[in-house]
Every structure is written in structure tokens, then in C-alpha cells.
Structure 1
Amino acid sequence: MNWRRFTTPHALFWWGLLAVTWILSSTSFQLYKALDARWIIRFPKAWQMPLETWISDAMRWLLEDATFGIFTFRELTRFISAIIEVPYDVARAALADGFVQGLGSNAVEIAPPLSWIAVIVIMVVLGRVAKDWGLAWLVGACFLYLAVFGQWDSAMVTLASVVIAVPIGVVGGLALGILSFRVPWVERALRPFLDLMQTVPVFAYLVPILFLFGFGPVAALVATVIYAMPPMVRVSTVALQTVPAEVVEAGKMAGCTKRQMMWKVLVPSAAPTLMVGVNQVIMLTLNMVIIASMIGAGGLGFDVLSALRRLDIGGGIEAGLAIVVMAIALDRVSQAFSTRLPAPVQGRDLNYLQRHPWFATVFAVVVLIYVAGLFVPAVQDYPETATLTTSAFWEDAMRYVNVTFFDTFEAIKDVFLTYLLLPVKRFFTGIPWAWGIVAAGLAAGKVGGWKLGVMAALMTAFIAANGLWNKAMITIYLCGVSVLIAYAIGVPLGIWAGANARAHRWVGAFIDTLQTLPSFVYLIPVVMLFRVGDFSAMIAVVLYALAPAVRYAAHGIRSIEPQMIEAGLVSGCTKRQLLWRVKLPLAAPSLLLGLNQTIMLALSMLVITALVGTRDLGQEVYIALTKANTGQGIVAGLSVAFIAIIADRIVSAMARHSKERLGLA
């Protein structure tokens, strides 16, 4: 082993920082007792910022006093709510409730919703247009599953939300992306807001959204759009910036105006990349359905949430699998559209229906099914007598596993708690707040320069100054341990998948399932097997955050140039040397990006694990939601966001340095 790498100035800095932190963490309580100085371990209350009160007062002013002269701020938000509610009501009526006239007992149905057969036909045709018959049958089978297993009504309510939230997120994200592309300072100004939108826990802004837009599906749609839109903004900006220069030159030579250049040249050229953003909006929208159900969205998310509250393992898994099935169908269709080649131009002498035969076919089939449904109820609504359920199977399976392996699970939990979780927790919760601020600034400054160091120190000071230091340290401890385990499992899986085509298919299917399962679904079996507590939270976070570690590791291995592998073989490397001396160093940038995304997902999941008894910032956010305390929720949410931003900037700087060392920057 080459010991010199551990004694370089760079290495000695990190060893020294770790040693000082360890000593202070171990002795902080003794120092507090000896010096009678409580401020060593707890930020003085007299110095704490009253930010929570300021935010709550500002929200109260917005709701009660803010006015634009002609109308108040509250009336403005209610007007926006009414605008969004109109298309949502139409979508929900078309898919789930039917069109009615009148209210309550006087309501009369004018037209029923689309038949289950009609919706399946529409989805099959979408799959065929997007790619081929293979995708068409897969999408059709996914939606047939929803009908057969009794999830159709709830699934259509969820689909109605997706149908409205996705276009708003895509159009809004594309508009902001175009503005960022055209005006560079807008991109710089938007970056911190996008960072906050992606890192502030959703629970933190549910309370102000409820106050501004009221309880109901519209408030849920607003929260969903805020959560799902940032990737579209980022992807749109990057897609437009990376349009080949020769394409832009061709547009200029053809005499395009600015508007024509954007909509006739740049956007069509960037369309495949833009569809990746659309795919991300769809997946994040589906990931929000359970949280959105807390403020009135209904649908499959409400079914999962109800099952979680009742600890109904069978019902929760059934509803969760229904979300997964819908996510798989929509994900595959949107991915297929992102790689679809442009259709050949049809003859100008053909009419609209001749140029779009699939649209004509769908229209005819939907009309025929509507007429048939008037006479045959089974055509309109899937017969209840033909539905299947797996609820009892999941209940029995979980009960069998719980009874048979109870002692084993308890032993595993005790080992992890005794030798990993509790020691790491004692280390982080023992760090004095003053040294924590200094250490964060030094570490970030060493990796990313003095500007990053100052930013990290200020953000850490914000957390301490709001009296959240101890809960922030518990958050970092849980996130750190979970990321360590997820990375230790995910990277070997990704390396294996990257080197073996068959393994790539199997591992890819497993990761797809993990990534499409709603975050709440992980909590149900974990709580049933391990009870509430930090260990259960860790297991749920590891499962949720595993996907990017695997995907980026596999991508890094598969993207290594073949000639580099050949050079290693020619120089006489063994398989082990080839992995450690060639493949892993070249894949380091991708591995670090995977680490970055693993940290982000772990932090987003930690807020949800507050439901199983963790006492961290996630619990603080959840308590604020239950008490409708806007200030408390936003301050705790900003603290989580600042931890995520510091981690993101440090890991991104490490990835950049890795690329520079490899000559890839």
C-alpha cells in the first residue's frame, strides 16, 4: 500500500479537521459541565433569529392586509385557483366522475366519463405512435391491470391531476428555460430559486399553499407544479444551449427572425432533450400524488396514505403498485417520444383525418364504445365481480415473514444500532455549533474555494441561529449513514450492471421498480418488520436513494472508451487491477454525480420518515404542517435545503476536479 497518499498536505488537512472535530465532539459535554457554559452545545436563545415569527407575520399580512388597490392578494390567489380548477374539473369529469348538471341531490349526469376500454385504447395508440406495438401492448397491459385489480376509479382521479399538472409544469418550465437561454442574468438569478424548489421539503410549503389556495385538488396541483417544474427549466436551458452551432448558422442564413429561430430551429432541434425534461416532470408529478393527497388531491395517493395510517399492508401495497404501474406506462411512453424520429411529411392534398389516421381510429373507437356502454354496463364500467385483489396475499406474506424472521430482524437491527447508528449519532450530536460552522466553512473552502467556504459557513450559521442545530445534526447523521450504505450497495451493483448486459437488464428492472414506487410505500413494510425508529428510517431511505448510485455507476463504467480498456489489458493488468486502476478512476466523475443525487434523494426522504419517529428536521417540518405554522415549516425547510445545497456544491466541486484531472473538463 502506498502510504504517501495519506501524508500529503491535502490528506493531512482532512485528518486534522476530522481529529479536531472528533475531540470536540467527545469532550463538548464535559466542557459544558466543567465551565458551566451551555452555549458550547446549544446556540444561546437570546441570540436566536426571530425568523419564524417574521415569516408567520408576513403570511398573515399577505392574507389579511395585502392589496393591489382593486383586489387583495388573497383574491388574486383565489382567482388563479379558479382558473386552474376549470380544466381540472373537465379532466376529472372526462376520466373519473362524468359530466353533471346541478349540485348535490339535484345533480343530473349529462354524460358518463370515458369508458375503461376507451382509455386503454387511447393509451395503446399512444404507445404505438410513440414507438411500436411492443410498447403499445405494455402500456395497455398496465392500464388493464388498474381495472382488473380494482384501482381504476382512484387511478383516473390521479391521471386527471397528471393531465393538468404536467402541461403546466412543462409549459412553465420551457418558458423559463427559453428566458434563461436568451437572458444570461435570468439564468443566474433563477439558479438559487430552482435549488430551493428542488431541495426545500414539500411539506414546508404545503402550509402557505393551503393558506393561499385553500384545501382541495387545486392546492395540490400548485404544490405538484412547484415540485416538478425545476428539472424542466434546467433541461430546457441546457437543451437550447447545446443545439449545434451549424444548425443555428443554417437558421441565420435562411433569414429567420428571433421568433422563427426559436420555434422553427432551436426548439425542434432540442426536442429529444426537452422530452427528457417532460419525462422528469411526469415522474415527479406521480411521486407527489401521496403528499398531494394530504391537501385534498384524492386518488391513489389518498388510498396509500389511508392504508399507511391504518397500517393496512395489503391495501397500501396494492395502491402503491397501481401508482408504479401507471408510472411505468407514462415513463415508457414519454421516453419513447423523446427518441422518436420525425414523421415523414404527408401530401398536402390529403385531409386532416388522412394525415392522422390514428387520431381518426381513436375517435371512431371511443364513439363506438360510448354507444355500446349505454346498453352494456360492463363496457362502460369494469364489472366489480371480475376484479381481483392481492391484499390478502401481501398481508399473509408480511405476517409470515414477521413471525418467522422476527428474531433475525431484531438481531440485525441491534447490530446496526449498537455498532453504527448510535456511535455516529453521538459523534454528530456532540459537535459544538461554533466549531460546526467553522468546520463546514473550512471543508467547503478546501474543496471549492473561499466563496463556497463562506457560503457553507453562512448557511450553517443560519441553521444554528434558528435553534435547529441539534436536529440538523441528527438529519446529517441519518442521511450520512443511509447514503454510505446505499452507495456501498449501489456502486458494486452498478459496476456489475455496467460490465454485463444481462445484469444491466435485471438490475435496471429492479431499479426502475424502486424509483417508481412512491416514497410513502417504503414505510409500510419497513414499519411492519422493524417498528418505528431510526433503523426503520434508515432502511426506507436506503431503498429510496439506491437508484442513482446504481445508475450513475453503470453509466460511468459503460461510457469508458474501449481503447482505454484495451490499453490496460495490453499493459498486463489483471481484472482486479483493471477495475481499480483504470475503470474506477475514469468513472469517478459519474460516481460523484451518483453520490450527489443519492444525497439529494436521501434528504428528500428523511422528511417523510418523520412519520416513523425520527427526531430531525423532517419532524420539525411535519409538526409545522400539523400545526399550520408557516414560519416553523419554512425555517426548517430552508435548513434542510441549505444542507442539501452545501452537499451538492461540495460534491459537484469534487466531480469538477475529477474531470480536470482526467482531462475531460
Structure 2
Amino acid sequence: MIPRALKSDALFWGVLFTSTWLLSTYSFQLYKALDARWIVRFPKSWQLPLENHISEFLDWLVGSAGFYFFSFRDLTRAISAMIEAPYQVLRNLLVEGFTSGVGETAVQVAPALSWIAVIVTIMAVGHYARDWFLSVLVGVCFLYLAVFGQWESAMITLASVLISVPIGVVGGLLLGILAYRVGWFERILRPILDLMQTVPVFAYLVPILILFGFGPVAALVATVIYAMPPMVRITIVALNSVPKEVIEAGRMAGCRNRQMMWKVLVPSAIPTLMVGVNQVIMLTLNMVIIASMIGAGGLGFDVLSSLRRLDIGGGIEAGLGIVAMAIALDRASQAFAKRSMRHPLEGNILQRHPWTGTVFLVIASTLILGQFVPAVQTYPDALTLTTGPFWSNAMEWINVNFFDTFEAIKTVILQWLLIPVKKFFTGIPWAWGIIATALIAWRVGGWKIGLLAGFLMMFIAASGLWSKAMVTIYLCGVSVLIATIIGIPLGIWAAESPRAGRVILGLMDTLQTLPSFVYLIPVVMLFRVGDFSAMIAVILYALAPAVRYAAHGLKEVPPALIEAGLMSGCTRRQLLWRIKLPLATPHLFLGLNQTIMLALSMLVITALVGTRDLGQEVYIALTKANAGQGIVAGLSVAFIAIITDRVINALASGRRERLGI
């Protein structure tokens, strides 16, 4: 006998899908028969004039808003000055050197740090964080930047990172502490963080340009907004995870509130907080190309310039430079997270930090020798290598020899997958789409999530972006489906075979550190522009979470349950399908959630290869400097992400309850 609950679920999903398919297929005929255009398109007279209101508000804010004795423009200029001063110092230290005077009368007082001094310094940091292996690894990563001619651009990027990361970490830490202490502030902050993490970056580039102008400061502000939310969330989780025994010990020692926070809670949470620092670093590096659109410069600008010229070799080489820097900073920050648990060394500063004297000696000696031997100060151009021609020739060879194969694959997938799915989603009438989304969310997560989903989808329709949103959902859905079909088996393989796991997870590390724009260059060269190219780029970018969470979920299955299965006579296949995978389902849902989030963020970038979705709407707004249009389209993308997040989290929670974990 089939349980009544299962029959009810099957009936609900069957009726919902059938009705949606019928309305999608015959909505145009229905509109013609009833002469009711509103069936397929939200009436223009009902649309919300949000774009104009947002643009007018920003114009007023910049031009007229004042607070007693200063204007809003004065505030933004003050913020710009506070950020620009340390950024310029770092840029002088790493790239330009220090000068006295202005214009033609300027005289260089001191040169920038030499490439040798920077590499020795980063190696010292690596050794201090862990050991010689890490020291050599980070040294090789920075040496790569010098040898392959990326040094100056890399140092500009490093200066941006060294400013953005501390601001993001300190700001996130303080907001997280406030949210931990004040319950109502946390409730207000959570939806704001959701929006900050789901609104496409392009959507708030225009407001930032209006408020801060074009240049490095605007790029740094955008980077901090993008990179800070994980630090806030991790701070809240870390402080809530401090053992009650530690808190009680602090109270018994007579700690006041401030002492309890800074001498008990924060030190106890440092290992978890360092994970947040790592996330801020990685998101900052992921932002460097987008930030270069508004004046950041550096490696991001090199990748963007190569993309515009379709220079496959230059783009990949600059992208690999970002990867090298990301690997060095990622491994160093992870090592610091583990090192924080060690006992501090005793003695003076040179005894506690034996590398300090070496670093100062190298800086001083290269500063002097660099005046007489230019190769000490700047890496010699004659010794510079390049892989640009290799990548260009490889792509040309692939195009010449496999063009017909790629075209055949592209045609089959377009005809049998992309076009039918696109017709299905774009044919859904807006009214039924809102109702169906609300019903799905209600069935999975309860009436509150259902109401939220219906309201957010109504906002998208009322903004006049329903058709663009459906194209976004179709492209995201197909890409996530394929990424999941590929990713979960790879994750299973990585979990079941340690040797394969090292290779697969290492490849996922590389895919996650490659900037999103880098994927577009080879994809466009191989498949031209269009939905198929966008889908391939999204799959590559969003694949890593599906693999990682599947592998992690299988490894987290309790050994006692695996042992019980073996004692019951389960084969390896039965153990996987009947014990491991069912218990890993919550992790698989979380991996699916993260895959969707990355896919939605990448879809905005794929607007550059000709997609006609919300991403294109955001990008057009950026090119026209239309803040209202960009924010409304960005909010629409964010609302799709929020609905998906709530529904999948509800599925994962329900699965945990059924499994009793």
C-alpha cells in the first residue's frame, strides 16, 4: 500500500506540472481567443515606476541632500579621502615609489619595494603562518607573477586587496558583534545581507559611480560591499558557537560586557573568524575584474582588456595571475586560522619573529643595490616568459580540428534541451507563474515562505521584467541541472577514492579561484555567442559546490552506520545507495543551493555573450549609467535567489528531521 501522504504529494505535483505545461503551451492561443493581452504580459499601466523614483532619489542625494552643516556629497568625499590615503601609500610602496613635488617638478624620494623584497616578505609570512612548504608555495606563486610579466598589475591588485580586506573584516566583525548582542538588529540585518549577497554586483556599480565617481575608491567601495556579508554571518555563527562553559568562566572571573566580548568571546571564536577572513579575501579577488570596470586597474583590467580584444592568450595569462595570488593568500589565511590555536612564543620581537630581521635586511639591501643594478629593483624584461601564444595556438588548433563536432553538440543541445525548456518557461503566464511559485514554496516550506515567494514574484512582474526573469530561470535551471548531474558523481568519486579526491578537489579549487570573466574567453572562441555559450560558462563556474558538498556529505556519514551496513552484508554499491547517499541528502541540497547562487551571479556576466535575461538588463543599465534600471533588475535577480534559497533550505531541514540528524 502507498502511504496517503505520498499519494497526496504525487497528486499535488502532478496537477501543478500538468496545469503549468498546458498554460505555457496554449497561453498565446488563449490570449488571441480572448483578446486579452494581459494573460501573457503584465499590463503596462499597472507597472511600478520604480526606475524613475530610484534615479530621482540618487540625483537628489548627490545634488541636494544635506545634514545640518554638511551635504551628502561632503560625506562621500570624506569617505573617499579616508580610503584613498592608505590605498595611495600602499600603491606607492608596491608600485610607484614615493615622490616629492607635483607634475614635472616631482622628484622620486624612494623607490617602491623591489620584486625580491616582496617575495621574501610573503615567504616570511608563509613560514610564520605554518612551515617551509607554505613559504615556498606562496613564494613560487608571487615569483610566477614576476616571471610572466604580471608584476606591476599584480601589485596594484595586491594594494586593493590590502585595503579592501581589512575594511571588510573589521566592518563585518563589528556588525556581527552588534547583531550578536542586539536581537532586533540581527533580524533587520539578515534580509539586508541576503540582498547584498544576491544582488548582482553590476546592479550597484552605477549608484557607487554616482556617489563616489570613477576611480579606485569607487572600486574599493564596491569590493567591500561584495565581500563583507560572509564575515558578518560567520561572526554571528562563531560567537553563538562559543561553549557556554567558556562564557561562564568569564563571568565568574568578573568580566564586564566589553571584557567578555574582547577577552573571552572573540579570542575563543578566532579559528572560525579566520574562515570569514579567508572568504573576504577570496571574494575580494573574485571582484577584481568587475571592479576594473570602474577604475580599479591591475590584473582585472588586463583580463577585461583581453576579453574586449578576444585575446585568449593574454586573458588566460592574466587570469592565471589572479589564480596564483588567490592560491597564495588563500593558503596563508587558512594557515593563520589553524596557527591561532598555538601558544605564543616568548622573548623579544626578534626571538618571537626570527624572519623580521631577514625581511628588513633584504628590503634595505635591495633598496640600495637597486640603484646600481636595475634587475634587483625590477624583474628584467629579457627574462620575462609568456604563455599567451600557447593558449592562442591551442584554441586555434581546437577550433580548426573540432569545429564541426562542437557545432553538432551545440545544435543537438539547443534543439532538444535549451529551446524546449525556454519555450516552456517563457510561455508561462505571469499570473499563473506567481501562483505556482507561491504554491510550491508553501508546499515545501509552509505558508510564510509561500507568501514571501508570491510577493517577490509579484514584484518582478510589476516591474515589467517577467519575460526576462523567465529566461533567467530557464538558463539557470538548465545549467544547474547539468552541473548537478556532473558534480554529484564527481563528488561521490572524490569521497570514495582518496587519490581521485585529491585531483578532483584540486581541480575544483582552480575553478573556484579563476575569475568569472576568464571562462567567457575560451567559451566564446569555441562556441560563439548565445545561450549555449552562456550555459557552458555557468556550468564551469557553478560546478564546484555540487562536487564539494557531495564529497563532504559522504565523508560526514557516521562511521558507526557504515560499520552496521557492512556487518549486515551490504556490498559497496548497496552501502553507497542505501546508507551514504540518503544520509548525505541534506548536504546535497546545500550544494544545490550554492550551485544555484553561483549560477545566478554568473548569468549577469554572461550578458556579455548575448543572453537576453535579467543579466542583460543589469548590464545595459551599467552602460547607460541608469541606476534605477540596474537596481530594479538586480533586485529581481536577488528575489529569485532568495526564493530558491528559502525553498531548498526548507527541503534540507525537512530531510534532516526525517533522518533524525
TM-score (norm 2): 0.99
3-state SS in 2 of match to 1:110: strand
The letter of the residue matching 2:536 is I
The letter of the residue matching 2:505 is G
3-state SS in 1 of match to 2:108: strand
- TM alignment of 1:324-335, pairs within 5 A: 324-335=323-334
The separation in 1 between residues aligned to 2:343 and 2:265, in whole angstroms, is 20
Instruction: State yes or no: 1:406 paired with 2:403.
Output: yes
Contact residue 270 and residue 340 of structure 2 kept, 8 A: no
- TM alignment of 1:410-489, pairs within 5 A: 410-489=407-486
The separation in 1 between residues aligned to 2:15 and 2:436, in whole angstroms, is 11
Contact residue 128 and residue 353 of structure 2 kept, 8 A: no
The separation in 2 between residues aligned to 1:431 and 1:495, in whole angstroms, is 36
The separation in 2 between residues aligned to 1:344 and 1:580, in whole angstroms, is 45
Cα deviation for residue 27 of structure 1 reads 0.6
| Residue equivalent to 1:618 | 615
Cα deviation for residue 34 of structure 1 reads 0.9
The letter of the residue matching 2:88 is D
Cα deviation for residue 171 of structure 1 reads 0.2
| Residue equivalent to 2:190 | 191
- TM alignment of 1:528-567, pairs within 5 A: 528-567=525-564
- TM alignment of 1:181-330, pairs within 5 A: 181-330=180-329
Change (3 A) 1:388 1:142: same
Instruction: State yes or no: 1:126 paired with 2:125.
Output: yes
Contact residue 209 and residue 223 of structure 1 kept, 8 A: yes
Cα deviation for residue 573 of structure 1 reads 2.4
Cα deviation for residue 102 of structure 1 reads 2.6
Deviations 1:388-408 (A, max 9, x none): 001110110000001100000
The separation in 1 between residues aligned to 2:349 and 2:532, in whole angstroms, is 60
Greater alpha carbon shift after TM alignment, 372-381 vs 161-170: 372-381
3-state SS in 2 of match to 1:109: strand
Greater alpha carbon shift after TM alignment, 167-176 vs 499-508: 499-508
Contact residue 5 and residue 11 of structure 1 kept, 8 A: no
3-state SS in 1 of match to 2:99: strand
Contact residue 6 and residue 12 of structure 1 kept, 8 A: no
The separation in 2 between residues aligned to 1:4 and 1:552, in whole angstroms, is 31
| Residue equivalent to 2:388 | 391
| Residue equivalent to 1:175 | 174
Greater alpha carbon shift after TM alignment, 239-248 vs 104-113: 104-113
Contact residue 217 and residue 295 of structure 1 kept, 8 A: yes
Instruction: State yes or no: 1:513 paired with 2:510.
Output: yes
The separation in 2 between residues aligned to 1:544 and 1:538, in whole angstroms, is 10
3-state SS in 2 of match to 1:598: helix
The separation in 1 between residues aligned to 2:341 and 2:434, in whole angstroms, is 54
The letter of the residue matching 2:573 is R
3-state SS in 2 of match to 1:388: coil
| Residue equivalent to 2:358 | 361
Cα deviation for residue 70 of structure 1 reads 1.3
Cα deviation for residue 361 of structure 1 reads 2.5
Greater alpha carbon shift after TM alignment, 367-376 vs 510-519: 367-376
The letter of the residue matching 1:359 is T
Equivalent position to 1:379, from 359, 376, 383: 376
The separation in 2 between residues aligned to 1:332 and 1:352, in whole angstroms, is 25
Cα deviation for residue 168 of structure 1 reads 0.1
Contact residue 121 and residue 362 of structure 1 kept, 8 A: yes
Instruction: State yes or no: 1:500 paired with 2:497.
Output: yes
Cα deviation for residue 409 of structure 1 reads 0.2
Instruction: State yes or no: 1:575 paired with 2:553.
Output: no
Instruction: State yes or no: 1:10 paired with 2:47.
Output: no
The letter of the residue matching 2:465 is L
Q: How many residues end up aligned between the 2 structures?
A: 661
Cα deviation for residue 343 of structure 1 reads 4.4
Deviations 1:211-253 (A, max 9, x none): 1001000000000000000000000010010011111111112
Change (3 A) 1:346 1:489: closer
Contact residue 447 and residue 650 of structure 1 kept, 8 A: yes
Greater alpha carbon shift after TM alignment, 367-376 vs 465-474: 367-376
The separation in 2 between residues aligned to 1:147 and 1:3, in whole angstroms, is 67
Report the aligned-residue RMSD: 1.2
3-state SS in 2 of match to 1:374: coil
Cα deviation for residue 461 of structure 1 reads 0.3
The separation in 1 between residues aligned to 2:342 and 2:453, in whole angstroms, is 50
Cα deviation for residue 346 of structure 1 reads 4.3
Deviations 1:605-626 (A, max 9, x none): 0000000000000000000000
Equivalent position to 1:352, from 337, 349, 353: 349
Instruction: State yes or no: 1:340 paired with 2:339.
Output: yes
Deviations 1:393-451 (A, max 9, x none): 01100000011000000000001100000000000000000000100110001111101
Contact residue 552 and residue 590 of structure 1 kept, 8 A: yes
| Residue equivalent to 1:491 | 488
The separation in 2 between residues aligned to 1:341 and 1:262, in whole angstroms, is 18
Cα deviation for residue 572 of structure 1 reads 2.5
| Residue equivalent to 2:632 | 635
Identity in percent: 72
The letter of the residue matching 1:472 is A
Unaligned runs of 5+ residues in structure 2 are: none
| Residue equivalent to 1:39 | 38
Cα deviation for residue 648 of structure 1 reads 0.3
Deviations 1:372-399 (A, max 9, x none): 2122111100000000001110110000
The separation in 1 between residues aligned to 2:418 and 2:62, in whole angstroms, is 44
The letter of the residue matching 2:449 is L
Cα deviation for residue 185 of structure 1 reads 1.3
3-state SS in 2 of match to 1:614: coil
Cα deviation for residue 202 of structure 1 reads 0.3
The letter of the residue matching 2:571 is T
Change (3 A) 1:529 1:345: closer
| Residue equivalent to 1:589 | 586
The letter of the residue matching 1:467 is G
The separation in 2 between residues aligned to 1:7 and 1:660, in whole angstroms, is 17
